[in-house]
Amino acid sequence: MRKLVVFIALKLMLFTAFAQQRPHYSQYVQNMSVLNPAVTGIYKGRDLRFGLRTQWQGLENAPKTSYVSFSMPISFGGDMANYRSSDLGVTEPVDKDDMFDYSGSMAHHSIGALFINDKAGPLNRMTGNLTYAYHLAVGERSNLSVGVGLGVNRLGLDAQSLVFDEPDDPVTASSGQINKFTPDLNAGIYFYSATFYIGASMQQIIKNKLAFDGSFNTGKEVPHYFLTAGYQFWMGNNFSLTPSVMLKAVSPLPKAFDLNVKFAYRNNFWVGGGYRKNDAFFGNVGFNVANIVGVSYAYDYTTSELRTASSGSHEIALRLLF
Q: CA-based angle 7:209:1, to the nearest 5?
A: 20
Supply the pLDDT for residue 15.
Answer: 42
Q: How confident is the model at residue 259 (pLDDT cuts 50, 70, 90)?
A: very high
pLDDT in tens, 59-84: 777 889 999 999 999 976 555 555 66
Mean pLDDT (the chain, rounded): 84
Q: CA-based angle 265:35:308, to the nearest 5?
A: 80
pLDDT in tens, 204-257: 998 887 766 554 455 778 899 999 999 999 999 999 999 999 999 988 878 889
Alpha-carbon distance values, 91 to 211, 251, 281, 293 (Å): 45, 37, 31, 14
Supply the pLDDT for residue 80.
Answer: 55
Supply the pLDDT for residue 3.
Answer: 43
Euclidean distance between CA atoms 111 and 214, whole angstroms: 36
Euclidean distance between CA atoms 185 and 130, whole angstroms: 10
pLDDT in tens, 127-183: 999 999 999 999 889 999 999 999 999 988 776 766 655 555 444 444 567 788 899
Alpha-carbon distance values, 251 to 139, 153, 223 (Å): 37, 20, 8
Q: Which domains does the chain have, with CATH numbers?
A: 2-321 (2.40.160.40)
For the chain, what's the residue count?
322
Euclidean distance between CA atoms 268 and 265, whole angstroms: 6
Q: pLDDT at residue 119 above 70?
A: yes
